[in-house]
Structure 1
């Protein structure tokens, strides 16, 4: 892409206007739960565009996965993980590549990890915090999390006069009295984006949006919950279930299979609710005249265990439940592409977006480790995908501070995991000697470990992992040099991270 001096509108090498790119991340959306019933709009986009049926995240949780999506690099390269949640300033971001090619770059994040505090704002002209009604450096989320009126009043008193008290009071009033029931930011995010789109001129734009509805806690509006709950569960009974993944992992409480079925109903209701706003965003693009010139991309950043494999949430494992995600492209070369069954990694997404936009960005090209997903490109032939989990989040020390002495199995989670997934097998190993092998042909749910029956296969896949990532010791799990803000810690704790 070239930009003529004095011309504010970028042009491709052929002189045509480049496409807009809208990149939507559905936080914690797992592929298995995306159906025409839960997400009809996403499925319609898939029917008219291209659906990648075997798309996998590079990591099982938000920070390392988004770092890969933003930089096109593996966790072992970008170094952003539980022990260091800050994005390396030496890496170029996708937004920087679009901005420097002449695009207007805007983002809305509804996940507290994906903010300027952790370096994810680089390249965005605007990166809006979706959990704040009025944008402010002071996060009043502590008020939202108060268990009763007394706690809410104390939190308000403690933080009201940090920064602008009027802005803080407005944020409290919105969260406590005016926010739509069951909404985690999708409604106001879509409304803000619609207003932004109405004010756009001819300049192409790169728009990023993280919708967090599918994330814990699962609390969709009642109508969406009722549609997916088991017949013998009421909405009130389901919403009363404790949703505390770390406490569950540490055996602080238990959940029955029936309770997990109800929680999965709530989770599916969240997917259906956010799908409604996915449709509104598409309509806004159409009404404002941008749809025909837009490449629209939707993916999950990772999946979720809802009682699967004995886990709740998306930490400590590399099963397909936390890695297999929806990925749909609509527009441009992906119109009418149908269902693609070739394996792809979310690592491939930024490379593909820049290629579609005809953006040649040498610094990004030098660092990226992904492959093009365009059909007919010689680089699209993957025979395996890889993922990595560097350190437990929260750390074992944080879990001990909260729960005291932990069950023995929890201490085993203090390890680094890697996985390779081929057409036939899923192999996982840890830096503590842990190994699992699953034959996906006979065991697609990864329930039976066949590593002892397939020693030759294990050796081959172990060698491939080491060849791909290098030795386990190549990435330290040291504490970060920076310290996150206290308000950020509070909000992350409410999402089950701390």
Structure 2
């Protein structure tokens, strides 16, 4: 039977992988041997709703996870459960706090590793380790040490403070080390479904120094690059000025993160080869969303549905996905679930009937998409959270207090806001989406709005209210990643 390895490069935008100046030997080989999709789009511009779409084959309005309801609902069936029901060993390694049991993503997995913890536990002392000093740190640890298993909690506290940030042990290197051990120990009588979320391209960008030199502007040292502002919210709120060179430096650091991760994905391939699993594995590498690095006057991956955030790399190797083919048809991450079921030869009519995805497996008879869709159902962070972080906001920042939906064909793209705003781009001629043609092409706006409304009316929408009751430690860890709650 066919193994599945689904690899997400968190925050990897299309042009960082498939149209890039970076030297990516792993991707070059995968493209030469596998199938490359040049028009792959995420259903949402940030981690939680995008992974919800990836696992369920549903768009945000249908699965319900968003900034307005920060949990992937238990009532939504996942492709992972389909693989588990087909006697697959299902394993996940997550490096992003959003992708965890706390937010509803562990369902269906036999093993779910939160790689930021040395010993898997629901108790995390990271807040104390980060925020307190001296006696206050000792006293804080002592208070919480006996909440749950004191030995486990002590190990995680030491690991979080003294180990993981010094050796990439909670990143790609540590992930691969764990996968190597798992491959050595697993019972290979059943095939596996392996999911990995690698976090390296995510803010803050802190690539290993040896990867940065060729990507930084001439004359800029690694130490100088590390001094450039990486707080997206102070930039968006106009609290800090950033120059063109600042963004060139950030782009360099971002590409260095990608180059480092490319090497680690190559290492993952070698681990599968050494375990004699590679030839039987469909190996999928994609991004859950992209990144704005000064694009559209934004940083991070919020408040926008431009292609910098939703156009993602997608390369698949194995099974029918071989031969170095390039496919330009529109596909979406919501389409991966039925596609991977087809690759594994698993039939689950109930799941596929509830999914909005359509298989693009080479042997599938599904018609190619005419349109791709994306949704941003609520701002993240909210204006209230942003005010709490940076204080008074300029009036123009409140324009981001809206939801967005986008519809895209091969040539055209429309973004519509809940505030009545519209943006129309002729992406065939303006791929950077710099010229809003709404006033010039009202007939095209009307046509795409009609198609968007028809699509929205074609399915039942989930209730998108209510937040998960996340722990203080989780909130702190998410804030470390730039997510304000």
TM-score (norm 1): 0.92
Contact (CA 8 Å) 1:24, 1:210: kept in 2 or not?
yes
- How many angstroms apart in 2 are the aligned matches of 1:477 and 1:396? 18
Aligned-partner SS, 1:226:
coil
Q: Is the 8 A contact 2:70 2:466 kept in 1?
A: no
- Deviation of the 1:146 alpha carbon: 3.3
1:15 is matched with: none
User: Residue 325 of structure 1: CA displacement?
Assistant: 0.7
Q: How much does 1:397 deviate?
A: 1.7
Asked if 1:490 is matched to 2:473, the reply is no
Measure the CA separation in 2 of the matches of 1:428 and 1:311. 16
Deviation at 1:153, TM superposition (A): 5.3
Distance 1:99 1:22 in 2: 14
Q: Which of 237, 261, 267 does residue 250 from structure 1 map onto?
A: 237
Give the equivalent residue in structure 2 for 1:393: 380
- CA–CA separation in structure 2 for the residues paired with 1:410 and 1:473: 32
Aligned residues: 480
Q: 1:240 to 1:194 in 2, by over 3 A?
A: same
In the aligned structure 1, how far is the partner of 2:460 from the partner of 2:420? 14
User: Match of 2:290, SS?
Assistant: coil
Decide which moves more: 33-42 or 452-461.
33-42
Please, which of 49, 57, 67 is the counterpart of residue 52 of structure 2? 67
Counterpart of 1:314 in structure 2 is: 301
Q: 1:225 aligns with which of 203, 212, 215?
A: 212
Per the alignment, residue 43 of structure 2 pairs with 58
| Aligned 8 A contact 1:431 1:472 in 2 | no
Distance 1:492 1:150, change over 3 A: farther
Q: Does 1:196 align with 2:182?
A: yes
Q: 1:187 aligns with which of 173, 179, 186?
A: 173
The 1-side partners of 2:222 and 2:309 are apart by 26
Inter-partner Cα distance in structure 1 for 2:350 and 2:182: 30
Which of residues 95, 100, 103 is equivalent to 1:110? Answer: 95
Name whichever of 148-157 and 40-49 sits farther off.
148-157
Paired position in structure 2 for 1:447: 434
**Would you say the 8 A contact 1:38–1:268 is kept in 2?**
no
Tell me how large the CA RMSD over aligned residues is: 2.0
1:278 counterpart residue number = 265
User: For 2:15, which of 20, 32, 57 is the aligned residue?
Assistant: 32
Matched, 1:404 2:391: yes
Residue in structure 2 matched with residue 349 of structure 1 by the alignment: 336
DSSP 3-state at the match of 2:425: strand
| Change in CA separation of 1:351 and 1:473 when aligned onto 2, cut-off 3 Å | closer
Paired with 1:388 and 1:78, the residues of 2 have a C-alpha distance of: 12
Contact 2:38 2:328 in 1 (8 A): yes
For 1:370 and 1:256, the matched residues in 2 are separated by: 42
The 1:306–1:42 alpha-carbon spacing in structure 2 relative to 1, beyond 3 Å, is: same
Give CA-to-partner distance per residue, 1:343-370, whole Å, 9 cap, x none.
1111110110001101111221121111
Say if 1:142 and 1:155, in contact at 8 Å, map to a contact too. no
**How has the CA–CA distance of structure 1 residues 147 and 56 changed in structure 2, closer, same or farther, with 3 Å as cutoff?**
farther
> Deviation at 1:82?
0.4
**Structure 1 unaligned regions, length at least 5:** 1-17
Equivalent residues of 1:52, 1:342 under 8 A apart? yes
Tell me the TM-score normalised to structure 2 length.
0.94
Q: How far 1:47 sits from its partner (Å)?
A: 1.4
Alignment equivalent of 1:163, drawn from 125, 134, 148: 148
Structure 1 residues 460, 372: CA separation in 2 closer, same or farther (over 3 Å shift)? same
Once the 2 structures are TM-superposed, how far is the Cα of residue 474 of structure 1 from its aligned partner?
5.3
Higher mean C-alpha displacement, 31-40 vs 440-449:
31-40
Match of 1:77 in 2: 62
**Stretches (4+) displaced over 4 A:** 147-155, 471-477
In 2: Cα distance, 1:104 partner to 1:475 partner: 30
